[in-house]
Amino acid sequence: MSWSDLGTISPVIVAVLAAAAILLVDLAWPNRRRPAIFTALTGLGAVAVAILIQAGHTGSAFGGSYSLDNLTVFLDMLFVVIAALTILFAVDYLEPRGLPIAEFAAVLVFAVTGAMLVAGSTDLLVLFVALELMVLPGYMLAGFARRDPYSTEGAIKYFLLGSFSSAILLFGLAYVWGMTGTTRVDGVASALATAVAHGSLQPGLAMGLAFMTAGMAFKMAAVPFHYWTPDAYQGSPTPVTAYLSVGPKVGAFAIALRLFVGALGPLKADWLPVVIVLAAATMTLGNLVAITQDNVKRMLAYSSIAHTGYILVGLAAYAGGQQTGLSAILFYGAAYTFMNMGAFAVVTALQRRPGVSSQIGTFAGLGRRDPWLGALMALFLLSLTGIPPLAGFWAKAYVILAAIQAGGWLTALAVLAMINAAAAAFYYLRVVVYMYMREPTEEAVASSPGVLFRVGLAAVGVGTLIFGLFPALVTAAANAANVFHD
Amino acid sequence: MSLPILSLITFTPLVGALVVAVLPSNHPDLIRRTALFFALAAWTMSLGLLGAYAFGQTGFQFNEATDWIPTFGIQYKLGVDGLSVLMVVLTTTLTWISVLASFGPIKDRVKGYMISFLVLEVGMIGVFLALDLFLFYIFWEIVLVPMYLIIGIWGGANRIYATMKFVLYTLVGSLLMLIAILATAYAYQVGHGGSWVGAFDFQQLQRFAASGQFGDAFQNLAFLALFLAFAIKVPMFPFHTWLPDAHTEAPTAGSVILAGVLLKLGAYGLIRFAVPLYPHAAHTFAYPIIALSVVAIVYGAIVSIVQPDLKRLVAYSSVSHMGFVTLGIFVFSATALQGAILQMINHGLITGGLFLLVGVIYERTHDRTIAKMGGVGAAMPIYATVFGFFILASAGLPGLSGFVGEFLVFVGSFGVAPIISVATIIVMVLAATYLLWMFQRVAFGTLSDFLKGLGGHLTDLNRTEMATLLPLAVLIVVLGLFPSLVLDLLRAPAQAFLAAAGVVGG
């Protein structure tokens, strides 16, 4: 270890310090929310500064087990944004329910630390440890409303299936280590390239590949490994759901990039068919089940499964020979972060008062009751549907373009993705129907969110629009972050 | 740099929507007048465009182009030829008429309504002006959302079903179109050594297509995807089932725009993009499409006869009338194409007028059932006269514009397949049947018991209603007597269309 190693991982260090600072502040001023929120947001700001200082630089630390490149910077930045938004949205929800904000913020920042470490890890073991650091706080957050049985149920399901899938992933990593003799990503890649050059896939590698694929599919909630998602999402406190739907998902795709593209790239001809099937099944099932949901949180959970499917199309396009597939994944991740967090934020605002359900009936007449909230929700839902000129449209167009470029079966996958997108319009627009075309069924739910919440909501709203009107900004960043070259 | 008049026309309604958005909701009259002002401003500018347009020139005029997403060569590129000029003027005309026609009927959430209408106008104008395929697609999708809201919020009893059906049908088509557009651009990119420059530019793509560089198999798939999107919008049989529901449930002005402009978007897409970019595929599929068109013409007319609801009747008659348009496009003759485009305009004016008239009676009776009507002529003589005029125009009475368009399609298609012309002439009789029979049941005879019960509510056309109907009536007469006004504008686009379609020699 040298000082330059520490410099390379400085954003991660700052993040750990920020999380620790939140805990200390909470110790000094217990049960006071302002100092904790201030520390959390300042800390995240410091992390962002540390990341931006590194922008454009490359390097590696700890003997090649951590890599600083544009991909790390892009993903780190996204994770920080996710954490900051989550905190902005959470205050209004946690406070009326008497849930501690400082603990929440600290756990969240720890989770993001793990995610940032995932983004930069180029060693199988570091990757696994980072992954665990990312998901363990996630289990805690899911069960954060201790007295709510649904929250506990969701957390336990999430924990059990999450641990199970981590074990499976680790098993797969062990196989790959055994077959290639190294845990360094580049070492694995070159060993595999040699192995591929010498003929067919060895059984040990095939086993490793299968286990790793299953483990990764669990983490990103791909069908048929998605069963934890609806319950965990629906049971968790809504701001946590907002976080879970984007943070660990982008994290899982970070693993996909570092592991499948970085290390297992030489085997892509072998995992391409699997990813195609996963993508097709994930988006189709996610959408079909989402159509039948009457609870908006659960509906958004299934919709997030469907979006995993669309993102997997980008991965498949990469495996089919198109580099742009990876840029498309990154773009999708960023766009999805904004629009999906926005949608969950609106649900959070409605549920500010404890006891308000996330049933679709809660949205009845929202457009009249609260025109701004209604309009923003409509914006996010239209973006999720993929209506131009909003962020979600470009995300889909980018992925589809990559798939078309790859050709062959990928074209069929692109057609399936578009048919799915049309079907998804049904359930997204159904919420719009409730907001604008039905009268309120129960007494009006007062939302009037606080200042922090408004700032966050404005940020995601503007982000969804700016991404849509000037996608070139993000495509440039996503292309730069695409550090993989054959 | 010259005045970007096309951008001005396109985005004037958007400015209007933003202005309306900041007006206080409790002043509905102010909102209505502001919306009308911006709609009229766009209309005035479009008339200026028509006046400044250089007749007889080939190619596009008033071009504007800037890079938008240079990575993929996507441009903000607008331009007009004779066809798009006419479509833009039709759009702006019908929009202000619709806005004016909504003054009375729309009393609830006026602000949202007017914003939706103005945004809708942005999308519609943009579709007709865009010369970049990606930009075209974006405007195409922008049209969808306001219309979804207009039907869903201000529509009739069954509005939610109707609006969802409308959205889902349209979206399936348009998303497949997106794939086709991306695939087309990619094929172009591959053909140009991996450079995206111009890959979405319609003129570049057409040159590429004209040199026969899109493979036949590729053309077939891409054409089918585009065709499906446009056929759903037109709507062609058998993709028409969303139309009667959407029309019936939409508020009056929504129906006017649906029939007057939205259906034309599909026909425009076929003429502008589907055929010129994939000429080989267009010829391959021409006969099935002609067959579907004839089925639509006959089926629409027959089904119209038995409709019990005024609006549904007019909606099904649209299926029949739009069949002439698709027929005129795919027989690949200059006469038929000019007739088809004229028919697009006529249908916009006449059916727009009919929907307005149905709206007038609905405002007074809150009913559209033909069986309950009768003797309207006695109670509302001016109304009955105007109604009769539009009925005759729709039935294709010589001297009014409806006749000329259909006649040109007959003449143009006769040279290709006489049997089709004969079949469609029979439909003229059917059209006269369902229209005149409906008119007879509504207007003639003694006042029905249902209408008697309404007593004094059955007032004749008021000034606002006259103001919406009169311009349409004047245009119908003028175009009926002097169709050359339009046909001159269309000569160059028709030649360009045939040149593009004729590459592989039919």
Answer for the pair B324, B406: CB distance below 8 angstroms, yes or no.
Answer: yes
Q: Residue holding tokens 């404890």?
A: A354
Q: Do both A271 and A388 map to the same domain?
A: yes
Q: Do both A282 and A186 map to the same domain?
A: no
Of A387, A418, A423, the CB nearest to B141: A387
Distance CA A386, CA A399 (A): 12
Beta strands A66-68 and B61-69, pairing class = unpaired
Task: Please work out, in degrees rounded to the nearest 5, the angle formed at the alpha carbon of residue B394 by the alpha carbons of B268 and B473.
Answer: 90
B429 by Cβ neighbours in 10 Å (0-12 / 13-18 / 19+) ranks as exposed
Of B72, B145, B175, the CB nearest to A418: B175
Q: Do A404 and B183 touch (CB under 8 A)?
A: yes
Tell me which residue of B183, B230, B171 sits closest to A419, measured CA to CA.
B171
Tell me which residue of B171, B461, B159 sits closest to B311, measured CA to CA.
B159
- Name residue B320's amino acid: S
What pLDDT score does B503 carry? 43
Q: Which of residues 125-144 of B touch A (CB under 8 A)?
A: 137-138, 141-142, 144
Tokens found for residue B406: 């259909």
Q: Residue holding tokens 């048919």?
A: A419
- Picking from B171, B184, B200 by the largest number of A CB atoms within 10 A of its own CB, the best residue to mutate is B171
- Given CB atoms, is B159 within the 8 Å cutoff of chain A? yes
- Picking from B111, B139, B143, B148 by the largest number of A CB atoms within 10 A of its own CB, the best residue to mutate is B148
Distance CA B170, CA A180 (A): 52
Q: Do both A76 and A171 map to the same domain?
A: yes
Spans of chain A below 50 pLDDT? none
How many A/B residue pairs have CB atoms within 8 Å? 81
Instruction: Work out how many domains chain A is built from and give that number.
Output: 2
Phi, psi of A102 (to 5 degrees): -60, -45
What pLDDT score does B35 carry? 93
Which ipTM score applies to this complex?
A: 0.85
How confident is the model over B170-195, as a mean pLDDT?
Answer: 89
Instruction: Please tell me the pTM assigned to this model.
Output: 0.90
Distance CA B350, CA B55 (A): 26
Q: Do both A86 and A178 map to the same domain?
A: yes
Distance CA B70, CA B226 (A): 25
pLDDT tens digits for range A92-108? 888 888 888 999 999 99
CA distance A483 to chain B (A): 17
What is the tally of helices (H) and strands (E) in chain B?
23, 2
Q: Do B71 and A419 touch (CB under 8 A)?
A: no
What pLDDT score does A442 carry? 62
Q: How confident is the model at residue B36 (pLDDT cuts 50, 70, 90)?
A: very high
**B135: pLDDT strictly greater than 80:** yes
Of B141, B145, B176, the CB nearest to A418: B176
**B504: pLDDT strictly greater than 50:** no
Q: Supply the range of the domain harboring residue A340.
A: 267-486
Q: Residue holding tokens 């038929």?
A: B336
- Sign, CA dihedral B295-B297-B300-B304, equals negative
Q: Do both A252 and A296 map to the same domain?
A: no
Answer for the pair A365, A442: CB distance below 8 angstroms, yes or no.
Answer: no
Tell me which residue of B356, B373, B311 sits closest to B461, measured CA to CA.
B356
Q: Do both A183 and A274 map to the same domain?
A: no
β-pair partners for A59 = A68
DSSP class per residue in A199-225: SSPPHHHHHHHHHHHHHHHHHHT-TTS
Tell me which residue of B278, B262, B145, B301 sits closest to B224, measured CA to CA.
B278
Q: Residue holding tokens 């595999």?
A: A192
Residues in chain A: 486
A168 versus B104: the higher-pLDDT residue is A168
β-pair partners for A184 = A123
Q: CB within 8 A of A466, min separation 6: which ones?
A: A473
Residues in chain B: 506
**B107: pLDDT strictly greater than 60:** yes
Share the mean pLDDT of chain B: 89
Answer for the pair A460, A338: CB distance below 8 angstroms, yes or no.
Answer: yes
- The residue from A226, A244, A263 where one domain ends is A263
**Where along chain B do its domains lie?**
285-501
pLDDT tens digits for range A183-205? 898 888 888 888 888 877 788 88
Q: Do both A20 and A96 map to the same domain?
A: yes
- Name residue B62's amino acid: F
Distance CA B504, CA B506 (A): 6
Q: Which residues of B touch A310 (CB under 8 A)?
A: none
Q: Do both A273 and A215 map to the same domain?
A: no
Percent residues over pLDDT 90 in chain B: 43
Question: In terms of DSSP H, where are the helices of A95-123?
Answer: 101-120
What pLDDT score does A446 carry? 60
Task: Please work out, in degrees rounded to the nearest 5, the angle formed at the alpha carbon of residue A320 by the alpha carbons of A315 and A324.
Answer: 60
β-pair partners for A123 = A184
Percent residues over pLDDT 70 in chain B: 99
Tokens found for residue B429: 């009789």
The three-state secondary structure class of A144 is coil
Tokens found for residue B252: 């009056």
What pLDDT score does B341 carry? 92
Q: CB within 8 A of B233, min separation 6: which ones?
A: B170, B173, B262, B263, B265, B266, B269
Q: Do both A283 and A356 map to the same domain?
A: yes
What pLDDT score does A464 carry? 92
Distance CA B360, CA A417 (A): 44
Distance CA A115, CA A121 (A): 10
- The residue from A245, A263, A281 where one domain ends is A263
Q: Do both A249 and A275 map to the same domain?
A: no
What pLDDT score does A445 carry? 60
User: Within 10 Å of residue B460's Cβ, how many Cβ atoms?
Assistant: 17
How confident is the model over B207-215, as a mean pLDDT?
Answer: 85
Q: How confident is the model at residue B131 (pLDDT cuts 50, 70, 90)?
A: very high
Answer for the pair A253, A333: CB distance below 8 angstroms, yes or no.
Answer: yes
Q: Which residues of B touch A414 (CB under 8 A)?
A: 179
Answer for the pair B493, B81: CB distance below 8 angstroms, yes or no.
Answer: yes
Phi, psi of A62 (to 5 degrees): 50, 55
> Chain A residue closest to B164 (CA)?
A426
pLDDT tens digits for range B442-486? 888 888 888 888 777 788 888 889 999 999 999 999 998 998 888
